[in-house]
């Protein structure tokens, strides 16, 4: 799996720089269309979102979904044990300790309730959830489908757009996070069924039925490799199909480097058609259009629904001897959705099947990619409806659900980071040699961009909450480990030595003396981790992890600022709330004597 | 009864000998004072006796056993340690500070509470102060809590490192008298570090004068005053304004 990110604002068609899988469609991971600069609103790192092109191989499924159990671990460092003694008057009564213990118990209960609520929040809301991969064509088709479903009104409709490549979208479908999304027959055969020979629709349906999946009728276009020439070249030489090229050795061609090498690209094509073009060169896909229109080359490879095709008035040569695999667009759905909402499914068939040919799809793509229109607009134009009001993509209820998801992401990953980070910090403080290695390690983790870290998790943990939680936990480790280490290694030496002189065993020194003394600094590290994680968790949506990022991703995809803000503002508010919450927690967890002293110092 | 013995102990710290071939025996039930300017190696000797440092040469014996051979908890039962300003834990109340050693030994709550009451009576700390945190106590009160903590396990030996140095004169005089009383009544073996001649005079049956890690002279105060081993001893004694009771010895010597 790879991740590419294109710096700068202009989104060039760089999709061929990113490849995965074995079919042309699998190689395509298109970026989102260029959003106007004003759309990079919040100070969230999600501002980089549209430049993410995540793709993935066939990673193993999530191995473990039980990270939540970490939450139940009680990680409070300040030894809650109270000193022996029963008499109140002698000052031995454990009043402060007991109150502290009660606070911690309360905190644990709140955390447990929160966890349960969050898990419940994940239970899918009833209705039709339409998904899409993260490239223009998939967004447009999904938006059209969503609008059709909304018009039928049989079920509430939710949009779960931008689910990366096939791996993520398919995982989302099988795990029940979405009900339906646009897919290509070739991809279904190669990637989902792992059998490229299955391309006929009936075969696909037969093979998908046991998996609980259904396929609609073909939408009417294919998105596959194709060869294109200028219109004047086509008419001058009478070129209609690829086989016509065999007669013209003198034509020059520029192909994408990937296409040049793939067996289902140029080598196979040349052999299949007996082509003998004398002058074939490799060229980045983004440049081939310009090379073609400027007359420097005559033939380039394209995707059959590229928006550029209609804009530049190019002629696509027919694959008249059927070399390129069948990549017909269809809607792929869960059987449960088909059965629960039959009218919606039927309407999708009526509205989409046979309605969009390659040229029409290329025009729709061009409307978004070249004219900069929103998916919603393009979709409603296609359906012949009035343009939709903006911000129809979120509601109060949805926001509540996303809030719980976001809290879950932050809460669990923070709990894991604390459960791992505090012991690691303790270990580092006791072994200076190890400390260097450890701090370097967590430091390096922090230098990985959060988006990249998230995408690294996909091959390991699939998509959804698990990879998001793992990445977020790793990301939150640094402040926890570093502060724990720093606090413990800068304790007043005399206070530490005294514990040893008094005959405290090592764990007693740690639990009764060192950790309580270090608690302010350790909590500060946890607080930093919490606030950072609230922000970083918005990126979880890119791997289908849910949370406020879902709205941000959708808003970015739809060029819809209100929807972006609907995700960004609550995320910012939650970060502030986390900060405030920790002030309260400080009061509950930091020993009273320490607070008093720090207050005295600050006076 | 307990003995503390240094046999030709040398400890190098930071490239120089902080303690250089020191031999010293503190007899059971007596109070011995380590006297010297700062940096003379007094505190290092205590840290060696507590096992916080290991000697480079020679050995330190507590009750005839080399310190490294004693388990931490065992050593804690034999030796109590009091330092300047008490080194109390800011996150624990006075009572919890004082009883921490008992907690580490796994004493029962009632035994701990009884011991605490006894120590409150012994040190004269106002019981109402036990629930306070160290930051809410005066220097003298903190030092009393520190002493209670050192005595918690009823060790036969006490090591005190400048226990009164940080106190104001009134609190110091008050606590000085109290400490002297405590040492006498309890019959502890005491090794006390100070740079204050008055304290040396008040507490010390035996005095060891140190300079740059070496023993310059050992003996009673009268020995030091009357027969100084070298000019440094006489200078050291004269440098501090002598109270009247000491002046007599100094005059005799002069």
Measured in angstroms, the CA of B127 and the nearest CA of chain A are apart by 6
Q: Residue A484 CB: number of other CB atoms within 10 A?
A: 27
Average pLDDT over residues B99-112: 94
Higher pLDDT, A336 or A28: A336
Q: Do B93 and A91 touch (CB under 8 A)?
A: yes
What 8-state DSSP symbol labels residue A191?
Answer: I
Range of weakest confidence among A226-235, A563-572, B221-230: B221-230
DSSP H/E element including A601: helix A592-602
The DSSP result for A453-490, as a single string, is: HHHHHHHHH-SSHHHHHHHHHHHHHHHHHHHHHHHHHT
Does the pLDDT of residue A41 top 70, yes or no? no
φ, ψ for residue A68 (rounded to 5)? -55, -25
Partner B contacted by A592 (CB < 8 A): yes
* Option in A91, A495, A516 nearest B131 (CB): A91
Question: Cα separation of A570 and A152, whole Å?
Answer: 32
Question: Cα separation of B102 and B80, whole Å?
Answer: 12
Cβ–Cβ < 8 Å for A185, A224: no
> Which pLDDT band, with edges at 50, 70 and 90, does A416 fall under?
very high
Global ipTM: 0.86
Q: At what angle do helices A549-557 and A396-430 cross, to 10 degrees?
A: 120
Tokens 């007991």 map to which residue?
A: A98
Measured in angstroms, the CA of A42 and the nearest CA of chain B are apart by 41
What 8-state DSSP symbol labels residue A190?
Answer: I
* Option in A84, A494, A513 nearest B83 (CB): A494
Does the pLDDT of residue A47 top 50, yes or no? no
> What are the helix (H) ranges across B63-204?
72-78, 94-105, 109-123, 139-151, 169-186, 197-203
Q: Do B90 and A85 touch (CB under 8 A)?
A: no
Environment class of B65 (CB within 10 Å of its CB; exposed 0-12, middle 13-18, buried 19+): middle
Q: Give just the sign of the alpha carbon dihedral B180, B183, B187, B192.
A: negative
Q: Considering only CA atoms, which of B86, B72, B219 is closest in space to residue B145? A: B86
Higher pLDDT, A411 or A598: A411
Range of weakest confidence among A48-62, A102-116, B61-75, B126-140: A48-62
> Which pLDDT band, with edges at 50, 70 and 90, does A145 fall under?
very high
φ, ψ for residue B86 (rounded to 5)? 90, -25
β-partners of residue B246 are none
Q: Do A504 and B100 touch (CB under 8 A)?
A: yes
Cβ–Cβ < 8 Å for A356, A221: yes
Q: Do A91 and B94 touch (CB under 8 A)?
A: yes
B contact test, residue of A496, A508, A592, A593 with most B CBs within 10 A: A593
Question: Cα separation of A521 and B91, whole Å?
Answer: 14
* Option in B77, B129, B132 nearest A503 (CB): B77
Does the pLDDT of residue B254 top 50, yes or no? no
Measured in angstroms, the CA of B230 and the nearest CA of chain A are apart by 35
What 8-state DSSP symbol labels residue A243?
Answer: G
Q: In sequence order, what E strands does A256-342 have? A: 279-282, 299-303, 314-317, 329-334
Measured in angstroms, the CA of A93 and the nearest CA of chain B are apart by 8
Own/partner pairs, A456-460, CB within 8 angstroms, 24+ separation: A456/A1, A457/A543, A458/A1, A458/A54, A458/A56, A458/A59, A458/A164, A458/A167, A458/A168, A458/A543, A459/A1, A459/A56, A459/A57, A459/A59, A459/A60, A460/A59, A460/A60
A contact test, residue of B96, B112, B153 with most A CBs within 10 A: B96
Identify all chain A residues contacting B102, using CB atoms and an 8 Å cutoff.
84
Range of weakest confidence among A14-23, A142-151, A243-252, B207-216: A14-23
Tens digit of each residue's pLDDT (9 = 90 or more) over A556-567: 765 567 878 989
Partner B contacted by A518 (CB < 8 A): no
B contact test, residue of A86, A87, A91 with most B CBs within 10 A: A91
CA distances from A173 to A212, A460, A549, B253 (A): 10, 18, 19, 101
β-partners of residue A3 are A54
- Give the pLDDT of residue A82: 36
Question: Cα separation of B178 and B119, whole Å?
Answer: 13
Q: Do A501 and B76 touch (CB under 8 A)?
A: yes
DSSP H/E element including B249: helix B244-253
Higher pLDDT, A484 or A263: A484
How long is chain B?
254
């Amino acid at each position: 799996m790879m991740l590419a990110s294109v710096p700068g604002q202009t989104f060039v068609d760089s999709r061929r720089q990113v490849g995965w899988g074995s079919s042309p469609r699998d190689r395509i991971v298109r970026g989102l269309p260029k959003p106007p600069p004003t759309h990079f609103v919040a100070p969230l790192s999600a501002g980089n979102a549209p430049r993410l092109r995540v793709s993935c191989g066939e990673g193993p499924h999530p191995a473990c979904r039980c990270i939540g159990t970490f939450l139940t671990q009680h990680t409070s460092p300040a030894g809650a044990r109270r000193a022996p003694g029963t008499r109140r008057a002698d000052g031995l009564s454990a009043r402060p300790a007991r109150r502290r213990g009660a606070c911690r118990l309360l905190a644990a209960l709140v955390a447990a309730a929160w966890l349960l609520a969050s898990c419940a929040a994940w239970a899918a809301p009833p209705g039709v959830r339409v998904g899409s991969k993260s490239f223009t064509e998939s967004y447009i088709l999904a938006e059209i489908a969503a609008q059709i479903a909304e018009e039928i009104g049989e079920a509430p409709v939710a949009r779960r757009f931008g689910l990366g490549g096939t791996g993520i979208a398919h995982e989302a479908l099988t795990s029940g996070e979405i009900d339906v999304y646009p897919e290509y027959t070739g991809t279904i055969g190669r990637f989902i069924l792992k059998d490229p020979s299955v391309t006929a629709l009936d075969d696909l349906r037969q093979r998908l039925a046991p998996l609980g999946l259904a396929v609609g009728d073909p939408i009417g276009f294919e998105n596959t490799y194709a060869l294109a020439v200028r219109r004047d070249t086509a008419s001058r030489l009478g070129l209609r199909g690829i086989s016509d090229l065999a007669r013209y050795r003198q034509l020059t061609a520029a192909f994408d480097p990937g296409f040049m090498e793939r067996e289902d690209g140029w080598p196979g094509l040349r052999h299949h058609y007996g082509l003998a073009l004398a002058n074939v060169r490799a060229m980045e896909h983004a440049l081939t259009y310009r090379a073609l229109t400027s007359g420097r080359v005559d033939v380039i490879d394209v995707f059959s629904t590229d928006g550029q095709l209609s804009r530049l008035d190019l002629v696509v040569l027919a694959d008249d001897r059927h070399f390129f695999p069948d990549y017909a667009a269809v809607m792929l759905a869960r059987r449960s959705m088909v059965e629960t909402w039959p009218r919606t499914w039927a309407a999708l068939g009526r509205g989409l099947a046979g309605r969009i040919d390659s040229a029409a799809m290329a025009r729709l793509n061009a409307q978004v990619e070249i004219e900069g229109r929103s998916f919603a607009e393009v979709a409603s134009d296609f359906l012949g409806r009035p343009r939709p009001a903006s911000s129809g993509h979120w509601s109060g209820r949805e926001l509540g659900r996303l809030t719980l998801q976001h809290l879950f992401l932050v809460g669990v990953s923070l709990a894991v980071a604390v459960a791992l980070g505090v012991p690691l910090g303790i270990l580092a403080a006791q072994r200076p040699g190890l400390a260097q290695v450890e701090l370097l390690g967590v430091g390096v983790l922090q230098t990985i961009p959060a988006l990249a870290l998230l995408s690294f998790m996909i091959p390991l943990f699939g998509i959804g909450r698990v990879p998001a939680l793992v990445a977020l936990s790793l990301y939150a480790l640094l402040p926890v480990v570093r502060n724990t280490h720093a606090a413990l290694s800068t304790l007043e030496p005399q206070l530490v030595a005294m514990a040893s002189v008094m005959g405290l065993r090592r764990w007693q020194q740690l639990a009764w003396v060192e950790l309580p003394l270090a608690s302010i600094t350790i909590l500060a590290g946890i607080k930093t981790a919490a606030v950072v994680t609230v922000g970083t968790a918005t990126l979880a949506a890119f791997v289908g992890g849910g949370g406020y990022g879902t709205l941000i991703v959708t808003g970015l995809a739809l060029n819809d600022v209100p929807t972006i803000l609907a995700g960004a503002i609550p995320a910012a508010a939650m970060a502030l709330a986390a900060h405030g919450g920790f002030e309260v927690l400080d009061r509950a967890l930091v020993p009273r004597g320490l607070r008093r002293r720090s207050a005295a110092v600050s006076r | 009864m307990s003995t503390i013995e240094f046999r030709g102990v040398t400890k190098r710290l930071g490239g120089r000998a902080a303690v250089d071939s020191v031999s010293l025996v503190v007899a059971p039930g007596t109070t011995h004072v380590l006297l010297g300017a700062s940096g003379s190696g007094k505190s290092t000797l205590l840290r060696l006796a507590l096992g916080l440092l290991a000697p480079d040469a020679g050995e330190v014996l507590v009750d005839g056993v080399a310190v490294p051979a004693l388990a931490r908890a065992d050593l804690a039962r034999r030796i109590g340690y009091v330092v300047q300003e008490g080194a109390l834990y800011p996150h624990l109340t006075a009572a919890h500070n004082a009883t921490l050693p008992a907690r580490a030994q796994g004493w029962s709550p009632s035994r701990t509470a009884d011991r605490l009451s006894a120590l409150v009576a012994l040190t004269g700390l106002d019981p109402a102060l036990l629930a306070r945190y160290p930051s809410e106590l005066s220097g003298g009160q903190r030092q009393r809590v520190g002493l209670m903590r050192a005595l918690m396990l009823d060790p036969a030996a006490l090591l005190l490192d400048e226990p009164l140095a940080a106190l104001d004169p009134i609190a110091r005089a008050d606590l000085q008298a109290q400490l002297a009383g405590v040492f006498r009544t309890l019959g502890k073996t005491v090794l006390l570090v100070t740079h204050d001649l008055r304290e040396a005079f008040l507490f010390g049956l035996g005095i060891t004068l140190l300079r740059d890690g070496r023993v310059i002279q050992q003996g009673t105060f009268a020995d030091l005053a009357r027969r100084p081993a070298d000019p440094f001893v006489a200078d050291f004694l004269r440098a501090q304004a002598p109270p009247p009771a000491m002046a007599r010895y100094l005059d005799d010597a002069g």
